[in-house]
Amino acid sequence: MHFDGALGDEQARPVAAARLAARARGAQGDVLSRLTNRCLAEALFDPRHPLTRAVPVNNGASVSPLPSSWPEPSGDLVAFVTRHGKQRLAAQGLSELGLHLVHLDGPDTDLLGTFTRERPREGTALDAARTKLAWGFEHAPHARFALASEGSFGPHPQLPWVAAGHELVLLKDRRTGLELRGEDLSEDTNFGAETVESLEEANDFARRHGFPEHALIVGPHKGVASAEQLEALVQGALALGPVWLETDMRAHLNPTRQRSILRAMGRCFQALASRCPRCHWPGVVVTGSLPGLPCETCQTPTRLPRALLRRCTVCGVTLEEPAPLAVAPAARCDQCNP
């Protein structure tokens, strides 16, 4: 948001205010439609998420032809290009896999798009993540693996009135071309944007969006994380008219997003740790579940899963394994608890 030319000019104020309000409204529409169309719609939804149906995951397409056997990693390097502290989220998981993180502070990942209106992302989250992988390999020539993370925010793909966040994590093996992914789709997000016309409205927006643990963006000011700073910026901007507020979705300022990234990373690292019983490669991922877990009281099949379906992304074999629970609580049974 620009405040050019309007400061201190009494006559220009109503015009500037109307212009800012129109810009804010337009921008909000832009942000939401862009996010709906480009990001969440193309996401492969987390099949374990109660709100999503199972979608087969197949990222085996990019890995042929493969060597005949998987070269086991041993102390290999993992290049991770990130500017917003996400290396801290990856370090432990990688070290448990016997891998070493190489954090690369550049190139500037904001060039691929920012969550604010300065630079909309071109293309999909997958495109952006793959560009980051390529940067990692380019800037860390000794790294066998590259890691990339990309977040998207907008209306939930099945429940458009609910905000949702989608985190995509990719891990690629330079030696074999194997690309593994982990995702997290969650309505546990503080994503939001609003035009406010008073300090009370601004404080209300802040309260509803996890402030001050989660930072806000006030007009052109990012990373606003104290009540004093928020009040000063909002009061200053209100002199010109309505003020555009949005949540700062950069990972280091957003603990809710950090948790979602951790879940996506966990799934990606689990895929690397897995071994397919048929081809012996990593890349076995949960792709869905079979409903019908019997009720503990009346044995009627419920909607809870009786089995989990896993699929090898390399050879495509589907594996069925029993769900963690043997029986469903009667509270979840349509017969016992209609």
Are the beta carbons of 317 and 311 closer than 8 angstroms?
yes
Pick the piece of the chain touching Zn ion (CB under 5 A) from 81-89, 135-143, 161-169, 312-320: 312-320
What is the smallest separation between the CB atom of 78 and Zn ion, expressed in angstroms?
23
- Regarding 286 and contact with Zn ion (CB under 5 A), the answer is no
User: Measured from the CB atom, is 171 or 314 closer to Zn ion?
Assistant: 314
Based on the shown chain and the rule CB under 5 A, indicate whether residue 297 belongs to the binding site for Zn ion: yes
Stretch that binds Zn ion, among 223-231, 246-254, 285-293, 315-323 (CB under 5 A): 315-323
Angle between helix 255-273 and 87-96 (nearest 10): 20
- CB 295 to Zn ion: min, Å: 3
**Nearest 10 degrees: Cα torsion 110, 27, 225, 231:** 150
| Candidate residues 98, 278, 291, 326; the one interacting with Zn ion per rule CB under 5 A | 278
328 contributes a contact to Zn ion by CB under 5 A: no
For residue 271, which of 65, 70, 52, 49 has the smallest C-alpha distance? 70
Find the shortest distance in angstroms from Cβ 334 to Zn ion: 8
In whole angstroms, how large is the CA radius of gyration of the chain?
23
> Does the protein bind Zn ion through residue 315 (CB under 5 A)?
yes
Select 91 or 319, whichever has its Cβ closest to Zn ion.
319
* Three-state SS at 76: coil
Torsion, Cα 262 265 266 267, to 10 degrees, reads 130
Cis peptide before 65 (omega within 30 of 0): yes
Range in contact with Zn ion (rule: CB under 5 A) among 93-101, 154-162, 193-201, 278-286? 278-286
For the segment 145-164, give every residue that binds Zn ion (CB under 5 A): none
- Applying CB under 5 A, which of residues 7, 298, 325, 326 lies at the interface with Zn ion? 298
Q: Is 67 exposed, middle or buried (0-12, 13-18, 19+ CB in 10 A)?
A: exposed
Count of residues in contact with Zn ion, rule CB under 5 A: 13
Give the DSSP H/E element, type plus range, for residue 30: helix 12-34
17 belongs to the binding site for Zn ion (CB under 5 A): no
- Rounded to a whole number of angstroms, the minimum distance from the CB of residue 315 to Zn ion is 3
Task: Please list every residue from 127 through 146 that binds Zn ion, using CB under 5 A.
Answer: none
Mutual angle of helices 199-208 and 227-238, in 10-degree steps: 140
Which one among 279, 286, 293, 309 touches Zn ion, defined by CB under 5 A?
A: 279
303 binds Zn ion (CB under 5 A): no
Long-range contacts of 297-304 (CB under 8 A, 24+ apart): 297/330, 297/333, 297/336, 298/330, 298/333, 298/335, 298/336, 300/333, 300/334, 300/335, 300/336, 302/328, 302/332, 302/333, 302/334, 303/332, 303/334, 304/328, 304/332
Would you say 24 or 279 has its CB closer to Zn ion?
A: 279
Task: Identify which range of 28-36, 111-119, 180-188, 271-279 contacts Zn ion by CB under 5 A.
Answer: 271-279
Judged by beta carbon, residue 164 or residue 314, the one nearer Zn ion is 314
Residues interacting with Zn ion, by CB under 5 A?
Answer: 276, 278-279, 295, 297-298, 300, 312, 314-315, 333, 335-336
